[in-house]
Amino acid sequence: MFTLDYIRILLGDFFFMKTPFEILITALSAALLCTGAQADTGKLLLTGGVSTIEGAAGGGLSPWAVIGSNATEGETGGSAYLTNVGTRDYGLNVYGAALGIDDRFELSIAQQDLNTRGTGSALGLPGLHLKQTIVGAKVRLLGDAVLDSDSFMPQVAAGVQFKQLGSTGLDATLDALGAKRSGADVYLSATKLLLRQSLLLSGTVRATKANQNGLLGFGATLGGNEGGYRLQPELSVAYLLGKSVAVGAEYRVMRNRLENAGRAAGLGSGLRASDWKDVFIAWAPSKHFSLTLAYVDLGVIVPATTASRKQTGYYLSAQASF
């Protein structure tokens, strides 16, 4: 029988793997080993959230204070997911995995691959893909979303996400703008589940230097911009239509750090950013599988090459959890 201590030993080298693939396989292996000893994990459907595009449990765009997987106190569980996002000018594929330990700790890994399509061609870089690896950790600080559902106490969690943007033909442009290719986000989330009202409310405050979630680097000092952290609020609401279906919406503020740097580089407002938002429906036919479909509005992304078109489209994600 595999115990929590054994899993913690497996996780000892989690952050020292050479590649995202090795980290992903380690996370999945550890979670699968847990399944043999703790197959009957007991969270209510959808109360562990779904996997975000950054790997943490929450909605599609924003982390919540919940701990991912089906594991409750004294259990260890895991999840793995695939996500595809398509907008008018871009395509994003994400895959990842997460471990939930004792319903208190969460470790996650995500690999993002943004297909720039026509934008890359307009920049003289046809076939340009921006790839980012995100390793995250989250800890529940206060409250229990389910047990405290009849009180005013929310579940509160703190998290960190270490992000590394892969090297591409865009490196020289990012260097000229004063943007780095790695950074770390720190966030605090509070999530309130109102079971009697079938309602979930969640708010997150994120300290970040990331441009477009990090896919366009971190910070931008050109033009006298400050390179420090900025706070970004994120809001989520979900309504449970039944035990297995939830509908909701998210709003994630995106700081417009790159625009001034772009102006200093002679690009006008060509690097302007907008807030992200979505409307989603999540379906969990069983406690081991869920599907999420959303309409997303990511605003403008590098409008200099997209005629300032809003990046609206679909979000589709499949998650297996235990």
> Contact, 258 vs 273, CB < 8 A?
yes
pLDDT tier at 251, thresholds 50, 70, 90: very high
Contact 185, 213 (CB under 8 A): no
- Residue 278: give the domain boundaries: 4-321
316: domain CATH number is: 2.40.160.40
pLDDT tens-digit map of 34-78 = 444 444 456 888 888 899 999 999 999 999 999 998 888 899 999
Residue 19's pLDDT is what?
A: 55
User: Would the CA dihedral through 262, 172, 174, 215 be positive or negative?
Assistant: positive
CB burial of 173-195 (b: ≥16 within 10 Å; e: otherwise) equals bbeebbbbbebbbebbbbbbbee
Mean pLDDT, residues 175-181 = 93
pTM of the model: 0.87
Q: Which residue has the higher pLDDT, 68 or 251?
A: 251
Q: Taking residues 119-130, what's their average pLDDT?
A: 92
pLDDT at 27 over 80: no
The pLDDT value recorded for residue 12 is 45
How far apart are the two ends of the chain, measured CA to CA in Å? 17
The residue among 18 and 250 whose pLDDT is bigger is 250
Q: What is the pLDDT of residue 37?
A: 40
Distance CA 322, CA 293 (A): 21
The answer to whether residue 110 scores a pLDDT higher than 90 is yes
* The total number of structural domains that make up the chain: 1
Mean pLDDT of 255-275: 88
Backbone angles phi, psi at 14, to 5 degrees: -55, -45
